[in-house]
Chain A
Amino acid sequence: MAPTETHQFPPPKVLTYHHHQSSSSSPPPTLITQGAEGRLYKTTHLTRDRPCALKYRPPKPYRHPVLDARLTKARLASEAKVLERCRREGVSVPAVYAVDPAAGWMMMEWIEGVPVRVRINAWLGERCGEEDGEEGEEMDETPLVDLMKRVGEAVGALHRTGVVHGDLTTSNMMLRPPPPPPGQVNGREEEDNKAKVLEGEVVLIDFGLATQSMSDEDRAVDLYVLERAFASTHPRAERLFASVLASYRDAFKKASSVLVKLEDVRMRGRKRSMLG
C-alpha cells in the first residue's frame, strides 16, 4: 500500500470548488486509497460535520480515450443506480449523496471501520503467533465462523435485491464497528478489543462492476469470484468458506439453484489451465 503514501495527485475538479470560502475553510480532502477503480477521498466538502467519501475515476492513461470515457461514464452511472436500489431494499451499502458520471465522480456516505480482509488476517496472524505448530491445539474459531455467516448474509441480501456485485473480495467489505455502549468502564479495554476484532456489521462497498441481474449464472460467478479471492487472500481460512455459503443459503430463498450452478462454474474454472 506504500505507493498511495508517496504519490501525490491533483484532486478532482469537484474538490477544488470553494463554496464556503467566505465563512469557513473546510480541511483539505484526504486521499484514502488508490484502488484499481479509482481514487477514494475523505472530505467534509459537503458539510463540515459530516465526512463523506468521494470516489473519483480519473482518466486511465493506458486506455484509449474513447474507450476510457465510455467505460467511466457507464460504470459510474450504473454504480449509482445499483447503490440506490440496494439502499431502497435495505442492503447495507453506502448512501449516494451526489453523482456526475461524465466528470467521473460520486459522493457517498463515509463508512467507518476497516476492510474485512484486514480483520481476518489480523485475527489469523494473532492465532498463528500463539500456536506452536501447524497441528497445535485448535483455537476457538467461533468469532471467525460468525463473521463468515455475516458475510454470507450480506451477499444473500444483495442477490435477493437483484444485484450482483461483480468484484466480491474481502477488501470490498467493510466491518463497521458497533456503536460504543454508553458509560463504558475503562480497564479491560485491551482484552475487549481482541475479542471484538471480528465484530461489526458487514457493509458491501465498491460497486464499480455491479450489475442488475437475477440469473443463477451471474450470481454463481459472484460467489466464485469471492471464493477464489478468499482462497488466495486467506489460504489458512479457506475451509471456512463453507460457512459463507451455508448462511448465504439461509439468507436467500433462491440460493439452492445458485449453489448448484456454482458447481458448474467451479468445474469450468478447474479445467481452465489450457484451452483452444
Chain B
Amino acid sequence: MNAITKKKRRIALGCEGSANKLGIGVILHEGDLSSPSSTCTSRVLSNVRHTFVSPPGTGFLPKDTARHHRAFFVRVAKQALADAGVSAADIDCVCYTRGPGMGAPLTSVAVAARTLALLWGRDLVGVNHCVGHIEMGRAITGAEHPVVLYVSGGNTQVIAYAEQRYRIFGETLDIAVGNCLDRFARALAISNDPAPGYNIEQLAKQGGRVLLDLPYAVKGMDCSFSGILTRAEELAAQMKAGGKGPDGEPFTGADLCFSLQETVFAMLVEITERAMAHVGSSQVLIVGGVGCNERLQDMMGAMAADRGGSVYATDERFCIDNGIMIAHAGLLAYETGFRTLMEESTCTQRFRTDEVFVKWRR
C-alpha cells in the first residue's frame, strides 16, 4: 500500500462535478517522499472543463446538470488523458469530489470515477471540494501560510490553517455571495454565458454614476447576503418601473451591478481583513469562482497593501471549479496513505472544510 511513497513520479486523475462545471485534470507530483528534506513539485499535465450553461433568467437544476455531466464525462476524460499525454497505466489513483455540492451532479461524477478506478484497477480518493480549491491556490501562487477567502456560487468562507485543519473563521450566515450574484443576474435576465458573475462584472464597469443604497450585513467575521439580494431585486423592479436613484435621476442595470459589487465585495474584504488581523497574517489567497472577479482582487489588493502584505489570486483556469484541483488535493492525501474504499466511496452535499484531517501539512 505504501508503494506510492517510493515512486519519484506520481500521477493522479481528478474528477470534479459538484456544480455546473464538469472538470477532469491530470497532475504530476515529482520528488522523493521518503526523504523529508527534498521538496516535491507539482505540474499540471492537463485541465479540461465543460460547463452546463442554462438560459438567461434561469439557474441550473440538479437533474439537468447531472445529465450534462453524464453525457460529457467520457469525452472530457479522454481529452484530459490525451492532453496530458498519459495512458491509464500511468495513473496512480483516481480522485473525485465527495462534496460539498449538488447531490445529483456529485453522484454522476462519483459513479464515473468508480468505474474508472475499477476499469484500471486503481485506488479511489474522495476529496473535499473546498480543500481542493485551497491546495490548488497554494500550489499555483506559492502562498505559504495565507488567510484564504473562498468565494463561489455555493460557498463563502474565510479560512486559516491551524493544527492539521483548515479552520473556518467566518462564513455566510445564509446564501453564498456567488449565489447572490447569480440570482441577481436572473432578475435582470443577464446571460449565464460564460458565467453570470462575469457578465455582472463587465456591466458594472459601465455603471458607477451613483452608489445605490444596499444593506451592509457583517456580523463579526460572518456576513449575510439574502437581505441584499432582496433589496437589489426590489431596486431592479423599481428601475424597470422608471424609478429614480438617490440623485433624482433614473439609474441603470449597470449602476445596480456596480452598487451590488461594491457592497458585497467591501463586506468580503472587511471580514477577510478581520481574520488577518486576528491570526496576524498579511497574506491573503482568493479561491473559488467569484475569486476571478478583478474588482474583488483589486479591492483585496488595496486592503492587503495597506497592511503591508499582498494578495494571491489565480485566473479562471484554477479559480473556477476544475478537475486538476481535485487531482492535486487527492494526490497529496494519497501520498500520506489516504484511500477511499469502494464501499465507502459515497458523496455528500454537506461536507465542511474543517472536517478534513490535513495530514500533508505541518
- Where the two chains meet, the residues of A that have a C-beta atom closer than 8 Å to any C-beta of B are 1-4, 6-7, 33-37, 60-64, 66-67, 71, 166-169, 171, 209, 221, 225, 228-229, 231-233, 235-236, 268-276
Contact = CB atoms under 8 A, between A and B. Distances in A.
Interface residues of B, number: 58
A1 B280 contact: yes
- List the 7 closest A-B pairs by CB distance, nearest first: A3-B308, A36-B274, A274-B100, A276-B179, A273-B100, A62-B299, A62-B302
Given A225-B220, A275-B154, 11 more contacts: A34-B307, A37-B274, A62-B298, A67-B266, A167-B220, A171-B277, A209-B220, A229-B221, A274-B99, A275-B174, A276-B175
A4 to B, nearest CB: 8
A63 B266 contact: yes
Contacts of A61: 302-303, 306
Contacts, number: 130
The winner among A168, A221, A232 for most chain B CB atoms within 10 A is A232
Contacts of A71: 216
Contacts of A62: 266, 269, 298-300, 302-303, 306
Nearest to B229: A276
B72 interface: no
A209 B278 contact: no
A125 B261 CA distance: 43
A21 to B, nearest CB: 31
Interface string B190-211: 0000000000000000000001
B101 A169 contact: no
Interface in B36-64: none
Interface in B133-164: 153-155, 160, 162-163
A275 B175 contact: yes
B316 interface: no
A169 B275 CA distance: 11
Contact of A270 (B280, B307, B352): B352
A225 B169 contact: no
B177 to A, nearest CB: 11
Contacts of B99: 273-274
A221 B167 contact: no
A169 B220 contact: yes
Given A36-B277, A232-B168, A276-B153, A64 B220 contact: no
Contact of A272 (B18, B171, B263): B171
